[in-house]
Every structure is written in C-alpha cells, then in structure tokens.
C-alpha cells in the first residue's frame, strides 16, 4: 500500500476513535439523564460501564465514567460506590503502567472497604496491590498483600479467589528462583481451581508449573503438565491458549530430542494461529520454529520461518507505533475537551433531580450535538494537517533511505577494492606460481562483484543493472591483464542494452569472468594472436529467453572432451548456470565455444 493508503488508514483509525469516544459520551449521558430516583443505581451503572470500557481498551471512556461515578458517589456519600470507582481508576492507571497513581487509588478504596466492612472489595484491592508490587519486582510487599488477600478469601470460603491468590504467590516465588516453593503453591492453586471446576485457571496453573519444571531441566514432568493443560484448553476451545500450549509442548519435546514429535507440535501451533489476530504470538512462534530447524540442521526451513518472523516482527512494530500515536492523540484531545466541558457536564448531573426529564434530555443532546459537530470539524482539520506533515516526512524518509542504500553500495565497493589490492600484493610476493595464479583468479572474481556495486552506487535504480555496462567493466579488467602480458589477443563484446536484476546479473558476470580467464590461460598457447568474443542476445523465436556466448579463436577444446572439467573455474561455471536455471553447451568452431541458454 502506498503512502496515501497508509495516511487514509491512519485518518480512518483516528475518526473511529473519536466516534467511539463521542458515542460513549452519548450513552453515558443517556444513562445519567434516564436514571431512576435511586441515584445509587446510576453510580452502579457508571462503575459497570467504566469496567466494560476498560476491558475493551477504551481507557478514555473508562476514566470519564469512573470519574463521574466518583463525583456522584461523593455527593451522595455512597461509600461503596466511591470504593468501586477508586478500584476502576486504579485499574486504568495500572494498565497504563502508572503504578504510583494506581496504588494511590487502590489504597483509598481499601481504606473505605475496611471502614464499611466490605471484605469482597478489600479482597479485590489487596490482590491488585500485590500485582503492582510484583510488576515492580518488590516481591516482599507482593507476598505480604497476597497473604492478606488469602486470609480474606479463606474467611469468605471463596475457592476461586483462594486459587487466584495462590497462583499469584507462586508466580512471585518462581520469579525469585524458588522453584520448589513455587511448585507447591501451584499445586495448591490447582486443587482449589479444581474444587470449583474453574478450567481456565486449572490450565493456566498447569502451564506455569510446567514452565518451572522446564527451568529446572525436568522436561518430562513439564511435558506432562503441558499435555494436561492442552486437554482442558481443547474443551474450552480457546485457540490462542491452545497455540501457546502447543508451543510449550514442542519446546519440551525438542529438549527431550523427540525432534519428529516436536516438529508436529510446532506445525499444530502454527495452524491454530491462522485465525488469531495476535501478531506477537505469531512472530514468537515463527522465531521458535526457525530456531528449532536451525538446531536440527534444516537450514532451508529455518531460513523460511525466520523470514516469516521478520515480516511479523515488522508488522508488530508498525501496528504498535500506529496504536501508540492514535492513543496519544486521543488522550491529548480527551483531556483538553474534559477540562473545557467539565463544568457543563457537572452542572447537568447536579440538576437532573430538579429538572423535567424531557427538558433535560433535549438540553443534553443539544450540547452533545454541538460538541460532536465541533469535534468532527476539529479532527477533520487535524487529520488534514497530519496527512500533510506525514506526507512530507515520508518523502524525506524515502530520499534518506535511497541515499543510505547508495552509500552502502559505495562502501561495499571500496571494501572489495581493498581486498582486491591485498590479493594483488599477496600474489606479487608469492614464490609459488600456482598460488600466484589462484590469488589472481580470486582477484578477478572479487573484481566482478566490485563492478556490480560500483554501478549500483551510480545507478538511479538499485534493483536493475545494465548488462552491457556491467560486462564491459568486467571485461576491461581482463583487457588490462592482456596488455601487461606478451599475448597479442583482443576481447570483443556484442551485448544488447538490457537490464537484469542483481540476482541474475551477478552469476552471469561470474560465468563470463571464469570463461575469459580460461581462454586467456589455455586457448592461445600455440597462437601468435587471438580474439575472444562475448555475446548476450535475446532469442527471437523463444519468449523471454536469452543466450550468453563466450568464444575464442584459439586451439579449441580437446577432442577427448577432457578439458579440465574438474577445475574450480569450470565448476563455478556449472554452479552459476544451475543457479540461473540455464543450460550449458560447449563446442569447437574451431576455437572453444561456450553457450548458456537461460530465461530472464
């Protein structure tokens, strides 16, 4: 998709977020305006609405609802509503990783629960406080609050809550490396989950305890835990959890060297992620499979899955950046609008009991309509400005990347020239003639690659390269070699003005390099003069088919067909020919003729 398509998608996303906020505000206002005479019901609805918004990642709407619930609860002196509002506000802050603010809200709510004797609320907030300390690696405080939560859960005889606290406690010990203690708590948590048939909790505990066993090196025990968890998850039909569990099973089998079984579970996990919109899980799975195939020496499949991982990783990166940008913009606009309209919203809430229901609804919807229109105009203008800025940024980025790519080719060319020079110095100082020849042949091959990067650096299109220019520069190197020798031979070329991709151009240049080198060395040993001709032509009777020919006027190939087929140069020619899926034909006319037929 081009830049305009990306900008359009970003604009649509911004518009959707705006609409979600305004629709949420309209729904909220409707609930407030239509409340019954028991105002506590309105508080309950606001808190429930806040929890629902937070569950669906609508943090702005969740904060708005919780703030209104808190304001109305304080006005009514409805302390249970105040406690629930603080818990919702704490959850919002925790999910945004603002832990100090989250703790502040949870502690306020906990104090109210303890004052009014609300053990269920205290249990919830103690667990949340423990989670925050765990996320901050403050394990001692996390354990302290989990223990307090466990005492309340036991008094309430709430098996599910007991199991949850035990599982969280096990996570703390596991993070501390106290594996035996962690396993004991996981076992206790599993029993309590089992008592109330909480299958999802049972599966999570089995997976976590399996992870601890893996850390201990007990792959067999870990595998048993994972397989038990898989049986539960298949009943729940939770594809995401199933895929994650299958990945763990594959890892365990890999550790046990059951490579065939491990491969089957990796593939099963991959099949379960097809209909799951979780790029992070998919990318982790592709990386794990790539590492597995690398371990079993299957480089082809390892490389394929690693490419899939790179694509998914980049998608995750782009998706997360887009989401962060949109959320940042929405938070800014929401806070700005909240400050500007707070007085009017509070005024509407406080006058609900004294005004006629119909008049209140007309006034509220009139205000919302104006806000909606102004908001749409504001975001339309902002989207237009952003589109213009992003377009300018993308254009500059494109130029910068192209410049960087050209610089890479330039530096590669320089490095290859240095290597070529070093080989020349080594060849000149070598006492062994055979070694000298090998070094010079290596120099020729490196020179062919260096020419490619020189042309890529100078060319406007980094993906295509002109073959007549490329091969001419490769042949110039051999012409210089002929000029320094006593051999009176010339090199001619007859090449169409055609551009090939670098994937095709490099093998062709290496083939020409090897065949020219062989001709110079062997073709003219009994001749005074000679000529070498390089031809690259399109075959008119065959679509998209080309013929590369290298011929000389020398003594030709031996009749017994034994002409150094095992030499490195000719082996390279055969390898490069297979790489471009071509066919090699040799003949005498009367000098040696090498013809390679291939498709571009």
204 in Cβ contact with 167 (< 8 Å): yes
Once rounded to an integer, what is the mean pLDDT over residues 419-423? 64
∠ CA 318-320-326 to the nearest 5 degrees?
100
∠ CA 75-78-83 to the nearest 5 degrees?
110
More confident residue, 405 or 240: 240
CB atoms within 10 A of CB 390: 17
Answer yes or no: is pLDDT of 323 > 90. Answer: no
How buried is 371 (Cβ within 10 angstroms: 0-12 exposed, 13-18 middle, 19+ buried)?
A: middle
CB atoms within 10 A of CB 402: 12
Structure tokens at 97: 């990783």
Cα–chain center distance at 302:
17
Closest CA to 131 of 155, 106, 151, 153: 106
User: Given this model, what pLDDT does residue 444 score?
Assistant: 64
Cross-strand partners of 529: 488
User: Given this model, what pLDDT does residue 420 score?
Assistant: 60
Cα separation, 49 vs 65, in Å, equals 7
Answer yes or no: is pLDDT of 351 > 80. Answer: no
* DSSP per-residue string spanning 57-113: T-HHHHHHHHHHHHHHHHHHT-HHHHHHHHHHHHHHHHHTT-HHHHHHHHHHHHHHH
- Cα–Cα distances in angstroms (integers) from residue 390 to residues 2, 380, 400, 404, in the given order: 13, 15, 15, 21
User: Given this model, what pLDDT does residue 344 score?
Assistant: 46
Position 172 confidence tier, pLDDT thresholds 50, 70, 90: very high
The SS3 assignment for 530 reads strand
User: Given this model, what pLDDT does residue 386 score?
Assistant: 82
Give the list of residues 6+ apart from residue 330 with CB closer than 8 angstroms, or none. 14, 17, 18, 21, 60
Cross-strand partners of 535: 494, 549
Closest CA to 538 of 475, 495, 493, 509: 495
128 in Cβ contact with 166 (< 8 Å): no
Cα separation, 559 vs 556, in Å, equals 9
465 in Cβ contact with 496 (< 8 Å): no
Top-ranked range on mean pLDDT: pick from 23-32, 290-299, 477-486: 290-299
Once rounded to an integer, what is the mean pLDDT over residues 149-153? 92
**Average pLDDT for the chain:** 79
CB atoms within 10 A of CB 397: 12
Top-ranked range on mean pLDDT: pick from 358-367, 443-452, 538-547: 538-547
SS (HEC) of 164-180: HHHHHHHHHHHHCCCHH
| pLDDT tens sequence across 54-82 | 877 788 888 988 899 999 889 888 899 89
24 in Cβ contact with 61 (< 8 Å): yes
- Cα–Cα distances in angstroms (integers) from residue 468 to residues 200, 202, 207, 459, 540, in the given order: 67, 69, 62, 14, 19
User: Given this model, what pLDDT does residue 25 score?
Assistant: 54
User: Given this model, what pLDDT does residue 332 score?
Assistant: 41
233 in Cβ contact with 241 (< 8 Å): yes
User: Given this model, what pLDDT does residue 366 score?
Assistant: 78
Closest CA to 211 of 166, 243, 241, 179: 179
Instruction: Sketch the domain layout of the chain as residue ranges.
Output: 463-599
Give the list of residues 6+ apart from residue 460 with CB closer than 8 angstroms, or none. none
| pLDDT tens sequence across 241-252 | 888 888 899 988
Top-ranked range on mean pLDDT: pick from 281-285, 291-295, 552-556, 582-586: 582-586
Answer yes or no: is pLDDT of 317 > 80. Answer: no
Our CA dihedral for 260, 266, 272, 278, rounded to 10 degrees, sits at 180
Average the pLDDT over each of 239-253, 381-395, 568-582 and give the range with the smallest value: 381-395
Answer yes or no: is pLDDT of 2 > 50. Answer: no
Please report where in the chains the tokens 């020179």 appear, as a residue: 447
Once rounded to an integer, what is the mean pLDDT over residues 416-431? 63
Answer yes or no: is pLDDT of 469 > 60. Answer: yes
| pLDDT tens sequence across 202-222 | 999 899 998 988 888 898 999
186 in Cβ contact with 221 (< 8 Å): no
Task: Say what the pTM is.
Answer: 0.47
Once rounded to an integer, what is the mean pLDDT over residues 1-14? 49
The yes or no reply on domain 463-599 and CATH 1.10.10.60 is: no
More confident residue, 590 or 17: 590
Once rounded to an integer, what is the mean pLDDT over residues 136-153? 91
DSSP 492: E
User: Given this model, what pLDDT does residue 483 score?
Assistant: 77
User: Given this model, what pLDDT does residue 115 score?
Assistant: 92
Once rounded to an integer, what is the mean pLDDT over residues 300-306? 86
Structure tokens at 155: 């008094």
Cα separation, 286 vs 127, in Å, equals 35
Once rounded to an integer, what is the mean pLDDT over residues 290-309? 86
């Amino acid at each position: 998709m081009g830049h305009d398509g990306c900008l359009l998608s970003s604009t649509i996303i911004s518009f959707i977020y705006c609409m979600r906020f305004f629709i949420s505000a309209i729904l909220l206002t409707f609930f407030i305006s239509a409340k019954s005479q028991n105002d506590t019901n309105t508080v309950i609805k606001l808190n429930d609405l806040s929890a629902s918004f937070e569950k669906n990642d609508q943090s702005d709407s969740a904060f708005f609802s919780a703030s209104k619930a808190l304001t109305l609860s304080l006005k009514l002196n409805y302390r249970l509503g105040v406690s629930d509002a603080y818990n919702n506000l704490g959850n919002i802050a925790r999910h945004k990783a603002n832990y100090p603010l989250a703790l502040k809200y949870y502690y306020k709510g906990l104090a109210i629960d303890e004052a009014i004797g609300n053990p269920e609320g205290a249990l919830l907030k103690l667990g949340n406080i423990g989670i925050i300390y765990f996320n901050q690696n403050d394990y001692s405080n996390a354990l302290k609050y989990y223990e307090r939560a466990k005492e309340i859960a036991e008094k309430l005889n709430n098996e599910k809550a007991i199991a949850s606290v035990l599982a969280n406690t096990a996570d703390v010990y596991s993070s501390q490396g106290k594996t035996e203690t962690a396993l004991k708590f996981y076992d206790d948590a599993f029993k309590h989950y089992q008592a109330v048939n909480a299958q999802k909790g049972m599966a999570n505990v089995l997976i976590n305890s399996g992870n601890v066993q893996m850390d201990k090196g007990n792959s067999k025990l870990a595998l048993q835990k994972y397989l038990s968890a898989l049986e539960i998850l298949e009943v729940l039909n939770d594809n995401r959890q199933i895929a994650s569990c299958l990945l763990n099973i594959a890892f365990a089998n890999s550790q046990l060297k059951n490579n065939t079984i491990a491969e089957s579970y990796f593939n099963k996990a991959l099949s379960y992620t097809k209909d799951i919109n979780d790029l992070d899980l998919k990318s982790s799975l592709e990386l794990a499979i790539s590492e597995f195939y690398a371990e079993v020496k299957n480089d082809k499949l390892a490389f394929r899955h690693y490419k899939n991982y790179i694509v998914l990783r980049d998608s995750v990166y782009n998706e997360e950046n887009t989401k962060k940008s949109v959320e940042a913009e929405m938070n800014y606009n929401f806070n700005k609008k909240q400050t500007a309209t707070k007085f009017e919203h509070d005024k509407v809430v406080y006058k609900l009991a004294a005004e006629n229901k119909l008049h209140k609804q007309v006034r509220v919807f009139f205000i919302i309509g104006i806000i909606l229109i102004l908001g749409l105009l504001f975001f339309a203008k902002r989207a237009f400005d952003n589109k213009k800025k992003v377009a300018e940024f993308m254009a500059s980025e494109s130029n910068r990347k192209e410049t960087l790519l050209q610089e890479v080719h330039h530096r590669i060319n320089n490095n290859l020239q240095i290597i070529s020079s070093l080989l020349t110095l080594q060849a000149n100082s070598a006492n062994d003639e055979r070694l000298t020849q090998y070094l010079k042949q290596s120099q020729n091959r490196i020179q062919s690659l260096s020419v490619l990067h020189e042309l890529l650096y100078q060319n406007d299109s980094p993906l295509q390269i002109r073959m007549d220019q490329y091969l001419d520069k490769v042949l110039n190197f051999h012409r210089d070699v002929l000029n320094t020798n006593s051999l009176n031979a010339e090199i001619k070329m007859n090449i169409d003005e055609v551009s090939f991709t670098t994937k095709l151009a490099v093998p062709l240049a290496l083939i020409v390099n090897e065949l020219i080198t062989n001709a110079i060395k062997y073709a003219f040993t009994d001749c005074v003069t000679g000529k070498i001709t390089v031809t690259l032509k399109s075959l008119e009777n065959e679509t998209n088919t080309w013929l590369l020919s290298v011929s000389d006027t020398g003594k030709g190939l031996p009749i017994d067909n034994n002409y150094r087929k095992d030499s490195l140069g000719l082996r390279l020619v055969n390898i490069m020919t297979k790489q471009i899926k071509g066919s090699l034909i040799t003949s005498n006319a009367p000098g040696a003729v090498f013809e390679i037929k291939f498709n571009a």
